Amino acid sequence: MATAYEKTQNLKLAPRRGVCKDGREVHLYANFNRMKFDSRVTAYHYDLDIEPTCPKFLRRKLIHEFAQKYKSTVFKNALPVYDGNKNLYSSVELPVGSDPTVLDVSLCESEESKSRDYKIKIKYAAHIDMSCLEQVLRGDGYGDVPQETLLVADIVIRYFPSLRFVVAGKSVYQPPQGRDKYQLGDSTELWKGAYTSVRPTLWGLAMNIDESHTAFYEAQPVLDFMTKTFKLNNLTNNYTLKDSDRMVLKKELKYLKVTVRHQAHKRQYRVEDLTKLPANRIHFDVNGKKTSIVDYFQSQYNYRIQFPNLPCLWVSPKAKNTFLPIEVCDIVEGQRCVRKLTDVETRTMIRATAKKPHIRKQGIDEQTKLMGFQRDPHLRQFGLSVDNNMVQVKGRVIQPPKMGYANQQSVQAQGGVWDSRGKSFYNPAHIRNWAVLMFPPQNHCRTEDVKAFCDALIKFGGQNGMKINQPGFVKYLREHDIERVLQEMKRNGQPIDLVYCILPRNSSVAYQRVKHVFENQNAISTQCMEMRNLKPVKPQTVGNILQKINAKIGGTNTIAVDLMSIPLFKKPVIIFGADNAHPAQGEGNKPSVAAVVASVDKFACRYTTQTSLQATDGKKTHSPIIEQMQEMVKKLLIKFYQTVKVKPQRIIFYRDGISEGQFYHVMMYEVDAIRKACASLEQGYQPPITFIVAQKRHHTRLFVQNPRDGDRSGNVPAGTVVDTGIVSPVEFDFYLNSHQGIQGTNKPAKYHVLLDENQMPVDMVTKLTYGLCHVYARCTRSVSVPAPTYYARLATDRGRTHLNSSKWDSSDGASSIVSSDREETQRNLAEIIKDISPHEATKNKMYWI
C-alpha cells in the first residue's frame, strides 16, 4: 500500500466531471465579455530599471513618455504596455539584448513643476508564445493554464485605461465629478471604477469586468485634514498638538503624497513622519547661521507661518531632513485609502454600493464602454479584442433541503429561508444556572427592562423546547470588576451554564474582556447583547439570540434532513472547515490566526474547533498554508471518535482564504498533513479525502435575464448553480448562489474541487454544499458559504479579537514576536496562543456563534 507521502506526491488537480443536471434551468447574464486573440502573436518581455528611483505614482507616466520619445527607433512604431513595476511587453521584438541598453528620458511631474532626468535600463527577458493558451482552451491538451499568457493579456487590457484613470491593483478608478461625489468620512470620498481580469473559460478567453468601489483621500489642505481628524472648530494661531494626537496624525498621513503652495514649482513629496518639535523650534544651518523653519520661510519665500506651534511633515527621502510646515501642504488627489475604514465609513460605503441587480448590471455596462476597448490601439497591437456585451449563460436552480426539528417535525426551505415557528429545536439545551451582567449604569439599563427581557428569553425558549430557569445572579458592574464578580458567582458551587452580558453600544473593550475571562480562562459560555436591543422586546431578536445560545451550550437547532439521503453518508463522514486570517496592512508583525473546525455528529451540524498562530514578518504577503494542520486535524479526528463512537470513513474538507495561484501549493501541504494525521492514529488508516476551496473574493456576478426568474430582491434565486460557459476549461469548479438577496447584488460563492478521492458526482457535490449552507446555527436562512467554512472564519475572527486585546497588541510586543531565531519565534507564538486560546473545554463548544 502506498504511504501517505507517496499518495500526496502523485496528486493532480481534479478534472471536471460532467455538469449539474438536478433542478430547473434558468437563463442568466454573467459579467464576462468574450475575447478573441490571435494565437500567432508573440509577446516580448523586457525588464526595466529606472535611475534614479522614480516614485510609483509617476512610473506609468514616465514609461509612456519613454515609449513616445523612442517610438520610431527602439519601439519600431509599436505600442508597448507596462505593468507599473519593472515589466514592459511589446508585440514586436526590440533591438535590445540580454545586456541592458541605457536610454535617457525627462519628465515633469506636473505642468507647474521642473523636469527631471532619468536613465532607463532595458533588457530582454523572455518571449511568450500565445498559441499554447489556445491549445488549452481548445482542450487539445490537459495541463496547467499558461499563467504568463494571461498575465500579458491582463496588462494589455488595463494599459489604455491606466493612461486616463487611477490604477489600484486590478482596478482603475475615475475621479468623481459634481453629483457623483460621495463623502464617506471627514476626509475620504468614494470613487467608482472597473475591475478587469482575463480568464480562461469553457467558451474560450473572456474578460471578467465588475463595477468597483473604494475609498480615496479627499484632495484638501493638510491643515483641513488635521482639523477634521480632531474635530477642531476654531483653530487658533498658537494651537499645539498633544503627543498622542501627533502620533494619530502621523499614522493617518504616513506615505500620503502632498504638494506645496509656497513654491512656484508644485513638486510632490511623500510623507514619512511628523517632527516631534514644532516649526518654531526646528533649527538648521543656512550659510553658517542657525535659523528656524519659521524664519527661513519668512526670509526665503516671504511667507509668514500662521501656526508655528504645529509640527512639520518630514518628507522623503528622510535622510535629507526635508521638513514642510503643515499649513503649506495639500493632499494630492487620487490616493487610495489603504487603512481600515472606520465604522462610519464602512456603513456609508455599504449604503452607497449596495445596488439592486439591474442597477449593478447597468453600471458594469457603463464601465465597459468607459474603458474604451473598441478604440484601444494596444489591444489591436497584441491581437486582442473584447466584445461589448455580457455573456448569456444557463444555470440550474437545485432543490433546497427539508429542515428537521424535534418530534420528527420538518419544514421545507424555500428560496433560502424557512419558518420555524411552532417547532422545537432538534436538540434543545437546558439552562439551570445562569447570570445576567449589566455594564451600562442602572439609570440607562433599568432593572425592570432587564427582567422583562429575561422573561421573554424563558418564554420563547420554552416554545423552542428549551428549559430555562430564572437567572440566579443579576448584577451591575464595570469592566474592571469582571474577575471579582466571577468569584462571587462561583461561591454557590453550582456550574454556570451561561453568562448573559448587556453592553453599551460599540463597547469592544468590554466585549473582549468578557470573552477572555469567561470563555478563555474559565470555560463558561457567554452571550453578549448591546443595550439598544433590550427594549422593546422583539420576538425576532429574542429568537435569533436563543438560536445562538442553544448552539453555544451544546444543543442542535435544526438538521438538513435531505443530507442524510446522500449516498456519501452511508459511511461515517467528518466535515472540516478551515481558514487562515492574516494581519491587515499596518499591523506590523502580528501573527496570522488559523482555525480548523470539524463536525462531531452524524448530521454535520455540531462542530468543534482548533486554532493556531503563525509568525509573519510584517510583509504584504503571508504564507497561505496552515502550518499546524496535522496536529489540529489529529485532535479533531479524536474528538469525532470520542463523540460519535466511530472512526470517520470519509473526509470532506472545505478550505477558505486562498487564491487560485496558491491552490496546488496549499493542497500538496495540507492534504499531506491530513493524511499524516490519519496515519498517526492507526496504521493503514487512510480515509478518502475530498478537498474543496470556497471563494468569496472574486468579481463574478450573475443576473437573471427574465425578472420573473429572480427572487423578490431581483437577485438570482437561492440554489442557482453555474458550471458551464464561464467556468475553467480544465478544472472542476462551479458557482453556487446559496442565499436569498437582502441588500444589493448577491455574490455567488465559487468552489474549486481540487481533490476528490470520494469520486462524488457533480450533483452530489452541489447538493452537499448547498445543504451545508442551511445548517448555519445563527438563523433560519441559508448562508453564502457552507456552515463549516463560515464557522472557521468566525473562529479566526474571535482569535484576532483576543489577540487585539492581549498584551501582544502593543507596538513593542507586536514587533517582538518574530525573531531571527526560529525557536525563539515559536516560543513567543506558544506564549501568545496560551494567552489568547479558549479553554480546552470551550474548544468543544461552538463558542464563536
Cell of 499: 453568562
pLDDT at 145: 72
Instruction: Look at residue 815 and tell me whether its pLDDT is greater than 50.
Output: no
CA distance linking residue 405 with residue 279, whole number of Å: 71
User: In which element (H, E) is residue 831 found?
Assistant: helix 822-836
Is the torsion defined by CA of 206, 211, 217, 220 positive or negative?
Answer: positive
User: Secondary structure of 616-673 in the HEC alphabet?
Assistant: CCCCCCCCCCCCCHHHHHHHHHHHHHHHHCCCCCEEEEEECCCCHHHHHHHHHHHHHH
Instruction: Look at residue 147 and tell me whether its pLDDT is greater than 90.
Output: no
Average the pLDDT over 428-456 and give the result: 97
pLDDT class of 111 with cuts at 50, 70, 90: low
Average the pLDDT over 482-489 and give the result: 95
How confident is the model over 387-436, as pLDDT tens digits? 999 999 999 999 999 999 999 999 999 999 999 999 999 999 999 999 99
Average the pLDDT over 289-318 and give the result: 95
| Residues in CB range of 470: below 8 A, 6 or more apart | 454, 458
Instruction: Look at residue 743 and tell me whether its pLDDT is greater than 60.
Output: yes
Average the pLDDT over 739-763 and give the result: 96
Q: Residue 444 gets which letter from DSSP? A: T
Backbone angles phi, psi at 569, to 5 degrees: -85, 10
Length of the chain measured in residues: 849
pLDDT at 133: 84
Average the pLDDT over 738-744 and give the result: 94
Instruction: Look at residue 6 and tell me whether its pLDDT is greater than 60.
Output: no
Q: Residue 716 gets which letter from DSSP? A: P
Average the pLDDT over 751-757 and give the result: 97
| Residues in CB range of 558: below 8 A, 6 or more apart | 403, 404, 405, 420, 425, 426, 605, 775, 780
Neighbouring-strand partners of residue 546: none
CA distance linking residue 440 with residue 554, whole number of Å: 29
CA distance linking residue 360 with residue 741, whole number of Å: 14
Q: What is the dihedral of CA 481, 487, 490, 496, to 10 degrees?
A: 40
pLDDT at 813: 42
CA distance linking residue 603 with residue 575, whole number of Å: 10
Q: Which of 5-14, 219-228, 803-812 has the lowest mean pLDDT?
A: 803-812
11 against 361, higher pLDDT: 361
pLDDT at 112: 62
Q: Which of 70-79, 96-105, 288-297, 807-816 has the lowest mean pLDDT?
A: 807-816
First-residue to last-residue Cα distance in the chain: 42
CA distance linking residue 669 with residue 658, whole number of Å: 13
Q: Say how many C-beta atoms besides its own lie within 10 A of residue 328's C-beta.
A: 22
Q: Residue 790 gets which letter from DSSP? A: H
At 383, the amino acid letter reads G
Average the pLDDT over 135-148 and give the result: 70
pLDDT class of 55 with cuts at 50, 70, 90: confident
pLDDT at 686: 97
At 367, the amino acid letter reads Q
CA distance linking residue 841 with residue 835, whole number of Å: 15
Nearest to 507 by CA among 112, 801, 284: 801
pLDDT class of 222 with cuts at 50, 70, 90: very high
Cell of 546: 436563543
How confident is the model over 663-712, as pLDDT tens digits? 999 999 999 999 999 999 999 999 999 999 999 999 999 999 999 999 99
At 7, the amino acid letter reads K
**pTM score of the predicted model:** 0.93
For 695-731, letters b (16+ CB in 10 Å) and e give beebbbbbbbeeeebbbeebbbbbbbbbbbbbbbbbb
Return the half-sphere exposure (C-beta side, CA atoms, 13 A cut-off) of residue 108. 7
CA distance linking residue 158 with residue 156, whole number of Å: 5
Considering the chain, what percentage of its residues have pLDDT values greater than 90?
81
Instruction: Look at residue 811 and tell me whether its pLDDT is greater than 50.
Output: no
Nearest to 744 by CA among 362, 212, 354, 363: 354
